[in-house]
Amino acid sequence: MRWHIVTVAIIALMWLCVAYRHTEAQQNCIACHSKKELFIKLPDGSIHSLYVDQKRFASSVHGKFDCVDCHTNMRHKKRGVLPHATHEGALGVIQNEVEPFIRHAPKTLQQAIASCVDCHNEQFKAYARSTHARHLKSGGADAPLCTDCHGSHYILPNEDESSPACGRNIPYMCGACHANEALMKKHKLNPYTVTTYLNSFHGKKLRLGSKRSATCITCHSHHAIASPHEPSSPMHLTKRAKACASCHVGGGGKFALTFTHKPPSPKERPIVYWVDVVFELFVIVVLIPMFAYTLLDALVMCMLLCTGALCKELEGVEGHVRRWDVHQIIQHLLFMGSVMLLMLSGLPLKGSGGMLAPIIMRLLGGTDTAGLLHRVAGTLMLLAVAYHLLYLFIRFLLGYRRTEMLPSVKDFVDFYHMLLFLLRLRHEPPKMGRYNFIEKFLYWAAGWGIIMMGVTGIMLWKAPFVAEHLSPQLVEIAHVIHSHEAVLATFALLCFHVYFAHLRPDVFPMSMVWLTGKISLKEMKLRHALEYERHRCCKLDS
């Protein structure tokens, strides 16, 4: 028993000696290197800092290492070889294995890289096969080394969100070089790889917090990265389909062509480019007049309210009249619920770089849950459309064949007269029927939007099938249209619908039609004067 105690005591003493030696050696270095003003001037005139933050180093993956574990053969200007440093270590590795690759690297990095290889030999073997290593070996001093991607003293586990090699940070780590336009042009490489990735579905999901979204290394590999033109690359045309199919079930060779790092242009995928241009112009042409009209109407209505003209116009008008039946109320509720859910789950993807987008996505339960909610909401919207069409068809069979919702010449005349009234070039607004031109515009605009969003949404939902059986470019076109239509629908609802149904002084805080199915006679008199007159004369057409 006594011998066991002695053995344990000896082991403990040895451990303390090693720990003390480790601490003593490290403290010898830190005594100087903890000073922020410590630096050296390199032959090219640049300044190289020698400062090391001890706390940050201690929390790194190498925090328990001694300085000379990596800085082997380190010679001090005044002290010669440092205590505990070996004369072989990294120097032997440089001479035998690494030297051909790093002889062109900056002198300050050569020892560091050799030290990495001393432990991480398998990773180096993979790196040695990469296009980066070949470029470095041929004299390219700007090729990335271990420390360019992982850092030096403060290397963190790849799972740590502060690590450059963490999934969410990888595009920016790669972007340090690949988003550098001057560097890319120097080597005749595409300078838009990072931009196109961040604007893609994968990049947007990553920015919104997805841990499953593909990053640069998912498709291109990491240490052994090769050019897509090389057969060894996962992105070579002969292997790309397999890489995509690892995530996208049913994706084949054509589906693998639906994404590229080259943005569309008049020469590169011109159909996608011109569809994008046309729809962008379409959105602008629609939204600017819409905003202008809404602002003008709001100013005139506020002026009428302040002068008392609006109150005088509606003086003595009381009561409500039925406008919607229960089916119309249910249809509106279905549309409202599905559209709101579509906006909440879809717009953060459109504006993934914004401040609110990640917050909304977290509240929805993450990108995967949001995607599921988006598809459920889209299905619900299409069911609401089917309900509405069935409702209209049955009413038609029953003899209710009213055509007030169809556009007519009077709508254009009313719009012209309303503009004159809002510009104070006409004394009174036009008298409009059961559905005015604004309501008709919103109704048919919703129809257009549902068709465009519904069709393109289904195409994106089943992108592998569309690409393989129709055309890869159709997937890109569907994405472009879906994206622009989402913006148009959102602002049309927020501008026109919310203002005229909620914020306009004659209905504020909201019209109750969507809840009760009844419209106030005041609202009817202002917006549907012809209908109001028919009601007063007891000639309301049922």
Q: What is the 3-state secondary structure (H, E, C) of 299-341?
A: HHHHHHHHHCHHHHHCCCCCCEEECCCHHHHHHHHHHHHHHHH
Q: How confident is the model over 474-485, as a mean pLDDT? A: 95
Distance CA(156)–CA(47), nearest Å, equals 25
pLDDT above 60 (res 200): yes
Distance CA(448)–CA(380), nearest Å, equals 17
- pLDDT reported for residue 390: 96
Beta strands in 74-127 (DSSP E): 75-76, 80-81
% of the chain residues with pLDDT over 90: 41
- pLDDT reported for residue 335: 95
pTM: 0.82
* β-pair partners for 76: 80
Distance CA(181)–CA(178), nearest Å, equals 7
Q: How far is CA 497 from CA 294, 371, 446, 494, 511, in A?
A: 10, 26, 11, 6, 11
Distance CA(452)–CA(112), nearest Å, equals 57
- pLDDT reported for residue 314: 73
Distance CA(71)–CA(48), nearest Å, equals 16
User: Hey, what amino acid is at 301?
Assistant: M
Token pair belonging to 524: 């009817």
Indicate the pairing of strand 518-520 with strand 320-322. antiparallel
Torsion of CA 177, 181, 183, 184, to 10 degrees: 90
**CB of 147 within 8 A of CB of 117?**
no
Tens of pLDDT, residue by residue over 7-58, are 555 555 554 444 444 556 667 787 788 888 887 776 667 777 888 888 888 8
Q: How far is CA 365 from CA 77, 369, 454, in A?
A: 58, 6, 24
- Domains annotated on the chain, with CATH: 1-74 (no CATH), 98-257 (no CATH), 270-541 (1.20.950.20)
Q: How confident is the model over 79-91, as a mean pLDDT? A: 44
Q: How confident is the model over 509-520, as a mean pLDDT? A: 90
- pLDDT reported for residue 88: 44
pLDDT above 50 (res 148): yes
Q: How confident is the model over 262-290, as a mean pLDDT? A: 94
pLDDT band for position 95 (cuts 50, 70, 90): very low
**CB of 514 within 8 A of CB of 333?**
yes
Q: What is the mean pLDDT of the chain?
A: 84
Residue 138, number of CB atoms within 10 A of its CB: 10
φ/ψ of 179, rounded to 5, equals -100, 0
Q: How confident is the model over 459-463, as a mean pLDDT? A: 94
- pLDDT reported for residue 23: 57
Q: Is 348 helix (H, G, I), strand (E, B) or coil?
A: helix
If one compares 168 and 412, the residue with the highest pLDDT of the two is 412
pLDDT above 60 (res 209): yes
pLDDT band for position 464 (cuts 50, 70, 90): very high
Token pair belonging to 200: 């893609």
pLDDT above 70 (res 3): no
Axis crossing angle, helix 409-422 with helix 437-461, rounded to the nearest 10:
110
**CB of 81 within 8 A of CB of 43?**
no
Cis peptide before 509 (omega within 30 of 0): yes
Tens of pLDDT, residue by residue over 287-341, are 999 999 999 999 998 888 888 777 777 777 788 889 999 999 999 999 999 999 9
- pLDDT reported for residue 193: 92
Angle at 235 between CA 233 and CA 236, to 5 degrees: 70
